[in-house]
Amino acid sequence: MQSNSKPPVLALDGITKSFPGVRALKGVSFDVAPGEVHALLGENGAGKSTLIKIMSGVHTADTGTIKLDGREIAMTGPHEARRAGIATIYQELLLFPELTVAENVFMGHAPRTKWGALDWPAMRAKAQVLLDSLDIHDLDVAQVVGTLSVGNRQRVEILRALSQDARILIMDEPTAALTEHDVQRLFAIVRRLRERGVSIVYISHRLEEIFILADRVTVLRDGEHVATKAVKDTDNADLVQMMVGRRIESLFPKIDVPIGAPVLEVRDLVRMPQTRGMSLTVRAGEIVGLAGLVGSGRSELAQTIFGVTPAQSGEILIGGQKVSVRSVADARRLGIAYVPEDRGIQGLVRPMTVRENASLAVLSDVSRHGFIQRETEEKLANAAVRQFGIRTAGIEQIVNKLSGGNQQKIVLGKWLATKPKVLILDEPTRGIDVGAKAEIHRMMGELAGQGLAILMISSELPEVLGMSDRVLTVREGRIVAEFSRAEATQERVAEAMMGGTSHESSAA
């Protein structure tokens, strides 16, 4: 292992950090060698975020030392970290939507003319050089960031880190919001950076990525360091066991259930520009996987069925009856539920309590003549907490303070309270740790078993393949292929998603 031979560029030793009431880190040690991809694993709450925040200067450690190139440094703020060449790419991309790519890259350290003014031409030129160095050719430095895809926004963040001559790049779940195609491009970029000698701390819940990309892996659990191993010395089951502390039988506990009559039928649904005549059928007890790139129209299709953006033409049938869905309220009444892709914005009202979120989609059920019946509402919320095993201090807990997995369970609970016939899940396990992921998959199986028709949108092909009875692929607003569970393989689905264009070549 090349990484072990060189002295570490960054070494943390015996790091302890407490927050009021919580000990987030208990004597954790961690190091990164030059040109190494070091994966950091752990369930939510294991202390990963705290550790990277200490590395990037957002938090200060209570005890422990941080050494850069063997010299101990005092990390007093993000400024210090940046000066030390440590850059972080957070999960929630921190960009300025109204400003251009070039400006986003150079915000805070823009090139100046000799008069002290910003040197726009130089800024654009430098940004272009950075783009070229990473072989990115579909991004214009003058574009406004707000109009970019998620993948491109992330590239802007990476460019920003590189523009500051970062030697250590911390990436917090960089693939969580990416399409398969963008994931491949990210991998290419990461490899390129590694060749240049940049060290990368890589955090992901997708274990397969660790094996593709990382040199070493460190696992944290409950704020403690469990192990650091070379990737070649470990395997999937081993990692999961270290993370969870117990064995997980299967990530995709698919249960075979009898498939019934069609529940949801969609015919030639049109909503320009993203839904251009789509047809599909989901039957009772069936899980249909919908694969496609971001921007292919998969989420838009779901939102059209759900009434957020009502259809311009085409038919929706529920249980064989033609229905009209003009609003979310219509959809809800017809038994359509949608667990959206963006949990924080679309799925939940995060500053509200568990109780208030749990009842938000069924306010009419917990009220009489428009007055909310507090007891009914509490009963509903408590039932959801029990049924989905939501870890919370109580139903009066503010949702924002819960982990991603628990938040997702609340969204699920909120929509299942509407007693739907059709459940549309959009990226149901994005950014959720392994344990919770398995739990959600298990629930999906159970729900299908109860006769629910489930349409699942996912960018994670293993999830699509692992959970679906049938797989549909979407491209450019149309459904382009259908595979049975037996037919569906990673290659075939991916090829259908890309449409066999030259896209793939640039990713490799």
- The residues in 50-69 that bind other proteins, with binding defined as CB under 8 A, are none
Note whether 389 binds other proteins by CB under 8 A: yes
Between CA 342 and CA 92 the distance in angstroms is: 11
**DSSP, res 82:** H
Element (H, E) at 213: helix 207-213
Measured from the CB atom, the residue of 142 and 237 that comes closer to other proteins is 142
> Least separation, in Å, of the C-beta of 13 and other proteins?
26
Q: Which of 397, 462, 494, 506 binds other proteins (CB under 8 A)?
A: 397
445 binds other proteins per the rule CB under 8 A: no
Options 295, 314, 466, 499; binder of other proteins; rule CB under 8 A: 295
- CA gap 200, 197 in Å, rounded: 9
How many CB atoms are located within 10 Å of the residue 50 CB? Answer: 23
Strands (E), 309-421: 313-318, 321-323, 336-339, 367-368, 371-372
Q: Given the complex with other proteins, which of 244 and 352 has the nearer CB atom?
A: 352
Closest distance to other proteins from the beta carbon of 330 (Å): 9
Among 44, 74, 315, smallest CA distance to 205 is for: 44
Q: Confirm or reject binding of residue 351 to other proteins (CB under 8 A).
A: yes
Report 12-51 residues binding other proteins (CB under 8 A): 20-21
Per rule CB under 8 A, is residue 498 in the interface with other proteins?
Answer: no
- CA-nearest of 440, 176, 476 to 301 is 476
Task: State the minimum distance, in angstroms, from the CB of residue 182 to other proteins.
Answer: 11
254 within 8 A of 488, measured Cβ to Cβ: no
CB of 277 vs other proteins, minimal distance in Å: 19
Alpha helices (H) in 346-391, listed in sequence order: 354-358, 374-388
Interface with other proteins, residue 96, by CB under 8 A: yes
| Candidate list 196, 326, 386, 419; residue touching other proteins; CB under 8 A | 386
Stretch of 93-101, 199-207, 257-265, 318-326 lying at the interface with other proteins (CB under 8 A): 93-101
Residues 218-237 interacting with other proteins (rule: CB under 8 A): none
Answer yes or no whether residue 245 interacts with other proteins by CB under 8 A. no
Task: Give min distance, CB of 194 to other proteins, in A.
Answer: 24
3-state class of 266 per DSSP? Answer: strand
Which strand ranges, in their side-by-side order, compose the sheet holding 71-72?
22-32, 10-19, 63-68, 71-72
When the beta carbons of 366 and 479 are compared against other proteins, the nearer one is 366
Cα–Cα distance for residue pair 137/189, rounded to 1 Å: 13
Place of tokens 């009914």: 376
Site for other proteins in 329-348 (CB under 8 A): 329, 331-332, 338, 340, 345-348
| Per-residue binding letters, 105-144, with other proteins (x by CB under 8 A) | --xxxx-x---xxx-x-----------------xxx-xxx
Alpha-carbon radius of gyration of the chain = 24
